Amino acid sequence: MQTPDLNLLVTLDVLLAEGSVTRAAKRLRLSPSAMSRALARLREVTGDPLLVRAGRDLVPTPRAIELRERVGLLVQDAQAVLRPVEALDPGRLRRVFTLRTAEGFVETFGPVLIARVAAAAPGVLLRFVQKPDKDSKPLRDGAIDLETGVVEGDTGPELRTQVLFRDRYVGVVRQDHGLAEGAMTPVRYAAARHVAVSRDGVAKGVIDEALAQDGLTRHIATVVGGFASAISLARSSDLVATVPERHTRGLREGLVSFGLPMQVPEFAVSLLWHPRMEADPAHRWLRGCVREACSD
């Protein structure tokens, strides 16, 4: 089947609107003979005369009258597709955005982010989901719109990323814990009973590598899958939780936090999204809201 010439839709729209070959030619900046040839092609394609002579004028056939509104809408839709994106009006936006974050992000940055979005775009719903792993597939297939986390070697190379803030690890204990007072040393820190955080159940990581530089090993009493669980255990036991400082600020209220007594590298928490959403005005606006919430 031969592909139809879609340019004929514009010609038909103008012909039906003007009801005159001469006026349609002038509007499309064509010669009258070129417009006559275009009308002949349209008659051939549609199998209908479309415009027939009545005295000195051309009048539309019933088929032309039937097509007039449909063709006009098709041309308008096509022009909208090819038109540059207009400025976004958040107040008129109706959309659900899904954000995947690690524990602590919503508690710390959620209140400010939700308030900002609600003030500018009351028709937008933010949906937060847990981040059980670093699989990039949900971003690729559109199941989630944005993700926060540390960019590592296994992060999808095609993903767009932007640093939100830099963070460091701190120790967390309840207020009457023995480590809540006095100078913190690597020996004191390592000798305490610890709760480690690991999604894959691996007990040791960068904290243990830093202690090993001083020939020390910490006593890991239990391993949990998230920061909230570790902080909850520190709140109700003698365990020490070691968690990101800024990321868990909303979870550590009422607890004593202290800087680690050994050199542990800082790390960057980034915003991640799929490149197909790069130019989407609403998505770009939301990314700005997240950045602003994290910079407060």
Domains along the chain?
Answer: 7-82 (1.10.10.10), 90-167+268-295 (3.40.190.10), 169-265 (3.40.190.10)
b/e map of 86-119 (b: 16 or more CB within 10 Å)? Answer: eeeebeebeeebbbbbbbbbbbbbbebbbebbee
Nearest CA to 289 out of 159, 109, 161, 168 is that of 109
233-272 pLDDT, tens digit per residue, is 999 999 999 999 999 999 999 999 999 999 999 999 999 9
**Does the pLDDT value for residue 1 go beyond 60?**
no
By the 8 A CB rule, do 159 and 274 touch? yes
By the 8 A CB rule, do 126 and 117 touch? yes
d(CA 177, CA 293) in angstroms, rounded, equals 33
What was the pLDDT predicted at 151? 87
What was the pLDDT predicted at 272? 95
Largest CA distance in the chain: 105
Q: Which residues pair with 271 in a beta bridge?
A: 148, 162
55-92 pLDDT, tens digit per residue, is 888 888 999 888 887 888 788 777 767 766 668 899 99
Range of lowest pLDDT (72-76, 113-117, 144-148, 241-245): 72-76
